[in-house]
Copies of this chain bind each other. A is one copy, B any other.
């Protein structure tokens, strides 16, 4: 599977010698790895970057290097990989996450309450205490936390904390009071207000659409706050070796933040955007997807739709009831007609459609909708299913039949496995996080993190993808290990597959002549390291468009 690019490089070398190369940069003495045109791993030892930020040529060890190169960089024998592409993130969520309280590392309710108290004390000026990342399952709580527990810590300011999956939030009493929520408040369609046992009194947690009741009264961030958040998000992603992302759910305010950065030259990474609504899609894109802007750094590709919620909060829609709540099958967010209308609305103007579907009922619904709509909307549509976590094995063939992109997040599997077993029971796990089966069916894979839901860590994702084990190496031998993928498939899903999923193939995602020179220099080869070693990869440098924009401290 590993081939040499020597023959191709030789041809390019010859043509290079004929052209002036004064502003070219040669990065030599690297152990280069990329996915090639055939989708296979290829290796090289040096790379020349043209003035426009694109790769001009690759070289093997014995090849003559071109004459007249102005800049030379010694790669010191480090491993060079294409910049990682994270195909499912929330860019502004990552940035605001950096600016608010992060509870994702807390291991108990007590630890979380202590962190909240500390944050409130350290941030006396903030009118609301906002945060994210709590997970009652990880805490071993076996119930949702309550407003009363928060009130004991912070009573003088509203507190509003989003669950790790973004599908539920936890309020103190003042936050509920600001939102006017009482025992009389009804559950909104597609959402649920958790109530005190045997009472209609709200308990403090709001699931899916019910979150909007409180979100509506949270003060909106100012544009300058958004600019800071974008900078924080870029810093984090670039430090992690991620040079391009798909932004899932771009609002007009998010888009304008990206454009401001593009306009003033501070947009460093690449963002493939998917609008958060049909209205945003039309305002941002107008009559169709935007052009690639800022040297391929920004494009509105299409729209993100939500068909169901998450498994953890039992919002995901299942064909059969939840194993651990036998009266409940999840919360559909769109009717079949609404889903098809929105897909048509986007497709008629050639916007790409990316649909969040987690439960097997939701996935089945999307696959059937694509089957129907494909009759009207032909051509290269690249329908995407985001997450595709639980798929009925009987439905998997449809992925391949329509070339539907499976945009999946390996770390969700390692984080969710015990919860998934609880929600689904032991008999319904065959199509759970079924990367291998879905790829075998012929669907293009695009891997991501869903950051800030999971850390934006492509190497942890790579390790999970090839091993079905978590950071502790558990479970031994991997969870449903037949669904792991090869290292080659994992690298492709984090690089060239991510580009293909966003109509960016040929622009970036591979280190091949003509593509953008987006790469990272790291300390180990993911093809020669154990999954545990891959998780510890050190990223020395991150380059985008031929420029070194991050160097590890």
Contacts and interface: CB of A to CB of B under 8 A. Distances in A.
Interface of A: 222-224, 226-227, 252-253, 256-257, 259-260, 263-264, 282-287, 290-291, 293
Nearest to A223: B286
Instruction: Report the 8 A-B pairs with minimum CB-CB distance, sorted nearest first.
Output: A223-B286, A224-B287, A223-B287, A263-B291, A260-B286, A256-B286, A256-B283, A264-B291
Contacts of A263: 290-291, 293
Given A256-B286, A264-B291, 7 more contacts: A223-B286, A223-B287, A227-B286, A227-B287, A257-B286, A260-B290, A263-B293
Nearest to A263: B291
B256 A284 contact: yes
B286 A252 contact: no
Contacts of A257: 286
Given A263-B293, A264-B291, A291-B263, A226 B286 contact: yes
A279 to B, nearest CB: 11
11 contacts: A223-B286, A227-B287, A252-B283, A256-B283, A256-B286, A257-B286, A259-B259, A260-B286, A260-B290, A263-B291, A264-B291
Contacts of A259: 259
A226 B252 CA distance: 18
Nearest to A264: B291
Q: Which of A256, A257, A282, A290 has the largest number of chain B CB atoms within 10 A?
A: A256
Q: Which of A227, A286, A290 has the largest number of chain B CB atoms within 10 A?
A: A286
A282 B227 CA distance: 13
A224 B282 CA distance: 10
Contacts of A284: 256
A174 B127 CA distance: 50
Given A263-B291, A291-B263, A291-B264, A282 B223 contact: yes
Contacts of A285: 223
A303 to B, nearest CB: 14
Contacts of A282: 223
Contacts of A256: 283-284, 286
Nearest to A291: B263
A264 to B, nearest CB: 6
B264 A222 contact: no
A295 to B, nearest CB: 13
A263 B291 CA distance: 7
A227 B282 CA distance: 13
A290 B260 CA distance: 8
B252 A287 contact: no
A524 to B, nearest CB: 41
A253 B291 contact: no
A500 to B, nearest CB: 24
Nearest to A265: B291
Contacts of A283: 252-253, 256
A226 B285 CA distance: 12
Contacts of A223: 282, 285-287
A286 B286 CA distance: 20
A144 B266 CA distance: 55
A335 B109 CA distance: 52
A184 B49 CA distance: 72
